[in-house]
Every structure is written in C-alpha cells, then in structure tokens.
Amino acid sequence: MKQHHAAKWLALLGLVVMACGGLFYAVSIRHGDWGLIGAGAGLAIVLLAALVAHEAVGAFFAKRSARLGLGSGVAILAVLALVMFLGALSARHHVRWDFSQGQMNTLSPQTVKVLKGLKEPVKAYAFFKDDQAGRMQADEELGKYSYVSRLFTYRFVNPDAEPGLAKAMKVRNYGTVVLVGGGREEQVQLPEEQELTNALIRLGKKGKKRIYFLTGHGEPALDGVAKDDFTSLRKALEAANYEVKSLMLVTSDQVPPDAAVVIMASPKMALMSQEIERLSAYWDQGGAIMLLLDPESDGGLKTWLKAKGVVLGDDLVIDQASRLAGLSPLAPLASEYGFHDITKMMSGTFCFFPQARSVTLETNLPKGIKGEELVKTSPASWATDYKGFLAWYQAQLDKMKQSQGQQGAIELKPGKDDRKGPLSLGAALSKQGQTGKDQAARKVTSRLVVFGDADFANNEFLELAGNHDLALNSVSWLAADDNLVAIRAKSRKNQPLLLQPGQERLLFWIPLVVWPLLLALVGVVIIIRRRRTR
Amino acid sequence: MRAFLAIYRREMASYFHSPVAYVVLVAFMLLTGYFFYAGVSFYTLASLQVMQNPMMMELNLQDHLMGGLISNMSVILLFAAPLLTMRLLAEERKSGTLELLLSYPLSDVSVVLGKFFAAWSVLGLMVAATWVQTILLSFMAPMAWLPLAISYGGLLLMVGAFAAFGVWTSSLTENQIVAAFAGFLPLIILWAVGWAAPLVKPSLGEILKGLSLGTHFQGFPKGLVDTADLAYFVLFIGLFIFLSIRTLEAKRWKA
C-alpha cells in the first residue's frame, strides 16, 4: 500500500515535470530542446510510477466503471481529435467576406492581380519588436496578402532576439519588412499596401537597374575609404538592388540607354560643353539625373539648371541650430521637408548638410516642369557669399594664430547682405515629354534632383540622422521605383461627431440611469408578484 | 424536443423568477452604459481635434467607437457568463435533484441543450439590451448598420461559446464557486492566449492564435466574416456540449 502511495506522488511529479517541459519547449525560442528532454523525463517518471504500482493499475482497469470510463475516454479523445482536425482544416481553407465600410479589410484589385500572378513563393520577414506600435497593423496587412495567395507567407522577427537575421538582411530600422523570393530581397520601410505591392513587383522583376556615377571631373571615388568618398552610398544602392557603374561621359558619345539614373557628385571641375549636351539630351528623352553640387564647384551646370528654373546659390549656408546637435554651424540642419514622394516619409527626422549651398526654385517654373523644394533649414540659418566668407574666415584664422590663442573661437553672425533662413538646400523636378516620332512616339518623364551639397551622402555623413533615407529615396524616385502602381490608401468615411449639450445629457441619462433602473424595476415587480401568488 | 423545451422553460423561469438575471443584467447595463458614455465623450473630443486638423486622421464610428465598445462588452460578458452558468448543473448536483432529473425519461442531450440554450438566451438578451444605446446614438449620428450587425453576430457566437463552456464546468462539480472559477480562468486564458504568439516560435504562435477566442473574435467588429472564425465558434460550442453530455453520462455509470 505504501508503495502505491509513493507511486501516486511519483506519477504526479512526472505529470508536473512533463507539463513544465512542454511549456518551456513552447515558450523558449533558443533552448526549446531542453524542454523536450524535460517532457520526456516526465513521461519516463509516469511510466515508472505505473510500473511500480502495476497491480493497482491492473485492478483499476478490471472494474466495470473503469471499462465504461475507458470507453467514454476513447470517445472523448476521438471527438477531440475530430474537432482539432476540423479546426485546422477550417483555418487552412477559409473564405472571407468583408462587410466593412470602404472595404477596409480587402486588398485592392492591383494587389490581388500581383499576388495571383506569383510564380515562386515569397516570404516576408517583418522586423518588429514584440510590443512595437504598428505591429498589429502590419500583421493585419500581411495577413491580407497571405489570405489571397498561399505562396505569400510571413513571419515576425524580433531584431533584438535574432540580430543575425537582421544583419544578414541589412535591416537598419525597426518596422522594416523584407520580402524574399526567387533568390532576391526587397525592403519596405512602411508595411502599407502600396509599398508592399510595389516591393512585390520589384521582386518579380528580373535584372537590376543601372546607376551611373559621372567621373573625370575630380569626383570622389566609389570604392575609396576616404571620408569624402562614396563607397557607403554605392553599397547602400547595391543593397537596394541597383547596379552601380561609373561613366566617363567625355569618351562616350551618349549616356548609355540603360542608365536608370545618372549621378554627378561633388565635381571639382566643370563639365565640358559636349558633356553637358549629352547629359541634356539624355534628360530630354526621359532621363533621370541627380546632382550633388558643393559650394566650391557647380560643375558648369549653373546655366543649364537656371533654364529649368533651379537657382544654384553661390553661397554657403550657416546654421547655429547645428551647434545644439554637436555639429559645426557650417553643417546646416534640415527638418522641414517639402510635400514630395522623396520626403513624404521623412517628417520627424533631421538631415545634416556639411558645407552646403542653397538651391532654390523660381516661383514661376518653365512650362511643363513641375518642381518642389525638398529640404529647408531652420529660421536660425543664413546664407552668406561663399568666396567672401572664405576670405573672412581665413583672415580670422590668421588673427587667431597671431594672437597665439589669446582670442577665443571665431564667432559667426549673419551680415546685413546675407539671406535669412529658412533656406532650401535641394529640389526635385519632373517634366512630361515625348520621345521618338510618329508611331514610335512614347510618353516619358524626365526627372532631376539637385542638392547644394554632396557631403551629406559621403562615407562620413551618409549614416548620420536621416541622410541615408534622403539619398536613397531620391534615387528610387529618380529611377521611378517609388510608384510602380499607385494604390490609394483606403479611407473610411470620416465621421466626426459633435453633440449638442442636450444630446450629450441624453446619452448619459438614458443608457446609464433610466434603462438600468427600468430593468431593475421590471425585475422587482416580477419577483414580488411571483412571491404574492405563491 | 418536448423534453428540451421543458428544460429550457424551467431554466428560463428560474433565471427570471430569481434576482440573478436582473442583478447581472443591471450590472452589465451600468458597465456598458458607462463605457458607452465615456467612449462617446472621447470620440466627440477627438472629433473636435480632427475638425481643426483634418490631416490628423479619419474618425469612423464603427472602427473607433462601436467596434471598441463591442470588444469591451465581450470581455465583460466573459466574466458575467460563468456567474450565469455556474448554477446550471452544480446546484442540481448539490441539492440532489440531478438524480431525480436523470431518473425522468429525459435524454442527457435534451438536459444539456435545454440548459445551454437557456444560458445563451439570457446572455443574448443582455447583448440585445445594449441596443438601446446604439439606437439612441443612431438618432444623432449615421450608423453603419451592416458592420454593426456583423459585430453583434460575432458577439452572440462568442457568448454562445462562453455558455457552452460554463455548462461544462458546472457539470464537473457540485460547488458553484468552483464551477464559476473553473469557468473564468480557462476562458481568460483562451481569450488572451493569442497575445503570446509573438513571444514563441512562429509555428507554435500559429497554434496559439488558432486556439484563441480573442483572435477569432477580432474580425467581427471590423465587419469581417471569416469561415475559419465561424467554424471555430461552432466547434467550440459543439465540443463543450458534447463534453457536458459525457460528464452527465459518467454520472449515470459511476452511480
């Protein structure tokens, strides 16, 4: 009997160990195997207990009630299994009907078409912290995609728990979704329908778009390690699925037709007139150009830009606000963005532009050209004449040397001829045009982005604040990768509700006082009447 | 069928001839009435802000007010349901009337179904009583009736699941308090188990979401009807009614 008693406790212990092991296996991401081992050990203890008390176990099953109980148990297990099977089946093969206003839970026809056309499986990795805002919306959005196509699957990754995966997929921000399919990857920063669908389309496209960097005018290298080289930018572009090449325009008779974007970054010398002609011809036929022009050289493009309505200032922008951010006042800070595809996601971030010139759009742009100023400095900034400033600054430095450190730091103040901020440091233009003649004619869009600074995208500053996003967004807009399909964000009916004071009182008194009282009264009456009749 | 109706009527009578139903109903109306008034006040405040700054966001009555209220109701009902169901079989067991009941020529199926539908009816009545608020509001604001009806439909399924589970826990014990607690706890866990999905392995997360009452309910307030959710609730109700019948049967052969 004592033995049986001990066996009971042993069995209980075994069950507890099993449960704990199972629970640990379920919850632990990395050490789940220990949980399995624990559960196995628990099972072994239970079996051991049964062995120890085998007589009692046998006697129990010999009873009639035990046999009936066993039959009932088997029936219960069978029904449980059936319910689980049906549940799993209904989860795998289900149909949805969306009765919401504005069909909020349904994807647009464009997206459905893209999803139905998937040939290879696509897996989305959503990099979110477990408790991050927006995770639920992302889950819902991705859920809609996987509902439409079985080939689309997704899973959430906590980048803190799986830093290796985040690193391998070059994820820089929380909230990034990486689509993987056909051996390629596409990143989406904002998991909304338009972004996800465009990424899906890009993923399905074979071949990469080519980006050419102009060389031959003293531009910084694309593979150098110096601070002002553009190696980081090249790598970032390659990570975004572009092919980056350099282009010596002076020795080729035209810009290669496969150029998706041509970038000229920080030329030290002016382009030759033939080069400008070739560049101009490329642009007119629907080309896309990005110019990053530091104050010291405009690459000889000032007149060409002027004809497009872009005024390149011969100035230097100084911003005292940058000092608060620990940077030199010669690196103006921009936090005001224009209303443009490039900058629409940038609000709330800063960009820094070390040694920048102003880039302003004329109020009346030439016919057919649409433009928008992209970034603006703070009101505490000003633009001063570049050459004059250099001379003055050198003089100040010399003075400091002569005084042998007696004089403190050089103080910067706006002069009376200086232009006051906010100042524009970059602009984007587009022009609808036509190329070819007669039947071969097709509509094209020429695009141009000009920044009064190249340093913001160089090795030293690219990863600072919002600079990376600004540079990459600009290129993807130029390469027309931003909007392969335009899907209007679903909007619900906006129903603001304003109540009269009387109405508000009604909404308080009726549901909260009158109605409960009425129900209570009915109850009291019924109960009293019933007691009386008894 | 007659046996079922007899049990159903008897249970309904015992609900409404005792204070239980009224106390629960009035308490439920007070709570939902409070949430309703607070929700509307908050919504009107947000409306003011939205009207000053239209870029801010869109406010939608179904998504930002009614859906939330209905989700709140489902949580309150989760606590109310075991209070209504704890009595059903536990009391009969304790007072010995269960043996009497089982000695009548009634099938276990009609006993369980009669009790289940009575509990479901009372819970459904509680849900229906909140329409006073909705109809009142409809005079002041345009309501989207279809998504609203879907939400209420989901809520009815949900309380059906609560009732079925409560009948089963009540069949297990003769102590009403135990029955109520055995009703709350697993329901709360089943309600919230989907929240744990992000914390565990993806494959297990899917299973947790699949088991969760909350996950299967959340589509309804958005106006989304999914056959998987419908199947879940039907299977849930069916399973616990089956288990209750088995427990009653066990009572026969154990005796």
Task: Determine the pLDDT at residue A265.
Answer: 93
The 3-state secondary structure of A41-74 reads: HHHHHHHHHHHHCHHHHHHHHHCHHHHHHHHHHH
- What is the average pLDDT across A280-294? 93
Say if CB A255 and CB A205 are below 8 A apart: no
> Is the model's pLDDT at A178 over the cut of 90?
yes
User: Pick from B26, B225, B243: which is nearest to A76 by CB?
Assistant: B243
- What is the average pLDDT across A35-49? 87
Task: Determine the pLDDT at residue A408.
Answer: 64
Task: Determine the pLDDT at residue A487.
Answer: 63
| B172 vs A: CB within 8 A | no
Residue A162: Cβ-neighbour burial (10 angstroms; 0-12, 13-18, 19+): middle
* B209 to chain A: closest CA residue: A91
Task: Determine the pLDDT at residue A33.
Answer: 78
Could you tell me the sign of the dihedral formed by the alpha carbons of A324, A325, A329, A332, in that order? negative
Task: Determine the pLDDT at residue A246.
Answer: 92
User: Pick from B30, B199, B224: which is nearest to A516 by CB?
Assistant: B30
> Is the model's pLDDT at A6 over the cut of 70?
yes
Task: Determine the pLDDT at residue A28.
Answer: 63
> Is the model's pLDDT at B142 over the cut of 90?
no
> Is the model's pLDDT at A56 over the cut of 90?
no
* B238 to chain A: closest CA residue: A83
* Residue A479 exposure: Cα atoms within 13 Å on the Cβ side: 25
Task: Determine the pLDDT at residue A373.
Answer: 93
Q: How far is B189 from chain A (nearest CA, A)?
A: 14
- What is the average pLDDT across A274-297? 92
Please state, for a pLDDT cut of 70, what percent of chain A lies above it: 93
Say how many CB pairs under 8 Å bridge A and B.
186
* Residue A99 C-alpha from the chain's centroid: 30
> Is the model's pLDDT at A449 over the cut of 60?
yes
> Is the model's pLDDT at A1 over the cut of 60?
no
> Is the model's pLDDT at B162 over the cut of 90?
yes
For residue B25, the chain A residues in CB contact (below 8 A) are 519, 523
> Is the model's pLDDT at B151 over the cut of 90?
yes
pLDDT band at B149 (very low <50, low <70, confident <90, very high): very high
Residue B223 or residue A240, greater confidence: B223
Structural element, H or E, at residue A389: helix A386-402
Residue B139 or residue A440, greater confidence: B139
Task: Determine the pLDDT at residue B203.
Answer: 76
Q: What is the pLDDT of residues A382-391, one digit of tens each?
A: 999 998 888 8
- CB atoms near residue A286 (< 10 Å): 18
pLDDT band at B1 (very low <50, low <70, confident <90, very high): confident
User: Pick from A65, A94, A491: which is nearest to B227 by CB?
Assistant: A94
The 3-state secondary structure of A250-295 reads: HHCCCCCCCEEEEEEECCCCCCCHHHHHHHHHHHHCCCEEEEECCC
For residue B132, the chain A residues in CB contact (below 8 A) are 510-511, 515
> Is the model's pLDDT at A483 over the cut of 60?
no
pLDDT band at A411 (very low <50, low <70, confident <90, very high): confident
pLDDT band at A87 (very low <50, low <70, confident <90, very high): confident
pLDDT band at B120 (very low <50, low <70, confident <90, very high): very high
Task: Determine the pLDDT at residue B78.
Answer: 93
Task: Determine the pLDDT at residue B96.
Answer: 81
**Token pair listed for B38:** 């607070």
Bridge partners, residue A54, by sequence: none
Most confident of A38-42, A448-452, B52-56: A448-452
Residue A296 or residue B168, greater confidence: B168
Say if CB A284 and CB A355 are below 8 A apart: no
* B37 to chain A: closest CA residue: A508
For residue A90, the chain B residues in CB contact (below 8 A) are 227-228, 231-232, 235
Task: Determine the pLDDT at residue B126.
Answer: 94
Please tell me the distance from the alpha carbon of residue B123 to that of residue B116, in angstroms, as a whole number: 11
* A153 to chain B: closest CA residue: B202
Could you tell me the sign of the dihedral formed by the alpha carbons of A434, A436, A441, A444, in that order? negative
Q: How far is A96 from chain B (nearest CA, A)?
A: 4
Task: Determine the pLDDT at residue B57.
Answer: 67
Please tell me the distance from the alpha carbon of residue B93 to that of residue B248, in angstroms, as a whole number: 10
Q: Which of A55-59, A65-69, A485-489, B101-105 has the weakest average pLDDT? A: A485-489
**Residue A175: closest CA among A151, A164, A191, A160:** A191
> Is the model's pLDDT at A269 over the cut of 60?
yes
Q: Which of A62-66, A206-210, B231-235, B249-253 has the weakest average pLDDT? A: A62-66
Task: Determine the pLDDT at residue A400.
Answer: 81
Task: Determine the pLDDT at residue A495.
Answer: 80
Bridge partners, residue A433, by sequence: A444
- What is the average pLDDT across A49-71? 76
- What is the average pLDDT across A142-160? 89
| B141 vs A: CB within 8 A | yes
- What is the average pLDDT across A301-330? 88
Residue B156 or residue A85, greater confidence: B156
| A155 vs B: CB within 8 A | yes
pLDDT band at A322 (very low <50, low <70, confident <90, very high): confident
Q: How far is A468 from chain B (nearest CA, A)?
A: 27
- What is the average pLDDT across A349-374? 91
Q: How far is B177 from chain A (nearest CA, A)?
A: 24
**Residue B79 CB partners (closer than 8 Å, separation 6+):** B184
| A511 vs B: CB within 8 A | yes
Most confident of A6-10, A248-252, B232-236: B232-236
3-state secondary structure of B112: helix
pLDDT band at A424 (very low <50, low <70, confident <90, very high): very high
The answer to whether the Cβ–Cβ distance between A511 and B19 falls below 8 Å is: no
Bridge partners, residue A98, by sequence: B224
- What is the average pLDDT across B186-202? 83
User: Pick from B50, B132, B250: which is nearest to A515 by CB?
Assistant: B132
User: Pick from A76, A155, A512: which is nearest to B30 by CB?
Assistant: A512
Task: Determine the pLDDT at residue A27.
Answer: 63
Please tell me the distance from the alpha carbon of residue B53 to that of residue B43, in angstroms, as a whole number: 15
The answer to whether the Cβ–Cβ distance between A494 and B60 falls below 8 Å is: yes
Q: How far is B231 from chain A (nearest CA, A)?
A: 6
Residue A440 or residue A89, greater confidence: A89
| A85 vs B: CB within 8 A | no
| B189 vs A: CB within 8 A | no
Q: What is the pLDDT of residues A459-471, one digit of tens each?
A: 988 888 888 889 9
- What is the average pLDDT across A345-352? 81
Please state, for a pLDDT cut of 90, what percent of chain A lies above it: 31
Please tell me the distance from the alpha carbon of residue A453 to that of residue B64, in angstroms, as a whole number: 45
